[in-house]
Amino acid sequence: KTGDTQIIANETLQMMFEEHPSSVNDTQTMGLGWFTGKLRNTEKVVYHGGDGDGSHSLVILLPERKLGVVLIGNSVEFSEPINFFAFEMLEIMLETKYGITLHDDSSYTPVSVDPSLLTNYTGKYVIENDIIEVYLKGTNKLKVKALGLNMDLIPITNTHFRVKHWLFNVGRLDIEFFPGNEIEDKFLIATIENVSRMHVPSYPEEVEISALAQNFLGEYIRYPSNSSIYFTGDNLGRYEITMENGVLKLGSSLVLKPISETELIILSGAFIGETMIYNETTQSLHWSSSIYQLAEE
């Protein structure tokens, strides 16, 4: 409301916070423009965040309690500490204002997992615009390399693991693995504080894509595919497609996976799952409202 004027109707407000599954694979529920979940499986929580130019922002609300946290951090790395900090602040505010202490449901008992299963989980995965790597230490200890840290994956079930580090508190971060099949490649679901859930696709080994990747390497000039009153320059900038540590990238962050001699799938950021098509005649990539023309040497 602004004064006595209600800007958003009550029905719309209710729909904003109603939970709807995003997709079959992605267990993250959403309302209208908000991610939704339960704080410690108890309190309804809605949140949204974004990043750009080296900063990250996050808004988390408890709509039924009229409590909220807005945080801005100077990091765009995977699972930024700002996310865990925001959830912890909400719990403190809930206890301070309402005297409600949420039950700690994070306890678990480690189990033994057949080493043959663990091998299936190893490899590179794309989370947001970053690459994490799951690997075996010895024959029966699964670890993940992320945020520059090598962290332990403690098995809770055959597929569900809790992320732990011997020195740093990474909050409650769970990983659940899903094997690949004839239709789709393997992936994992990363869950922060049992609220935020991210669908994380795997990335193929370099030997599997190196031949196809060669078709796309080089510097490109980006143009809009349609004329616009907002476009007055000659082009929208120069971008390079490179292979870095076995990962194909457009620019510094957009992770690409070649699936044929003329097709790329985007595996990171807001455009995950979208396809770029290469026109061999014009030596250009077509994606959404942009054309990437291979620059002349």
CA distances from 164 to 78, 136, 139 (A): 15, 15, 19
Question: What pLDDT was estimated at residue 191?
Answer: 85
> pTM of the prediction?
0.74
Cβ atoms within 10 Å of 285's Cβ, excluding its own: 23
Question: What pLDDT was estimated at residue 41?
Answer: 64
3-state secondary structure of 103: coil
Question: What pLDDT was estimated at residue 294?
Answer: 94
Question: What pLDDT was estimated at residue 121?
Answer: 96
CA quadruple 213, 215, 216, 221: dihedral, nearest 10: 170
Write the CB contacts of 254 (distance below 8 Å, at least 6 apart in sequence): 129, 266, 268, 269, 271
Query: For residue range 214-241, what is the model confidence (pLDDT) as tens digits?
Result: 999 999 999 988 766 555 667 888 999 9
Query: For residue range 164-209, what is the model confidence (pLDDT) as tens digits?
Result: 988 877 778 899 999 888 888 999 999 887 777 888 999 999 999 9
CA distances from 41 to 123, 126, 154 (A): 31, 27, 21
Question: What pLDDT was estimated at residue 242?
Answer: 96
Q: Which residues of the chain fall below pLDDT 50?
A: 78-79
Question: What pLDDT was estimated at residue 42?
Answer: 77
Helix (H) or strand (E) holding 92: helix 81-98
- CB-count burial class (<10 Å; 0-12, 13-18, 19+) for 202: buried
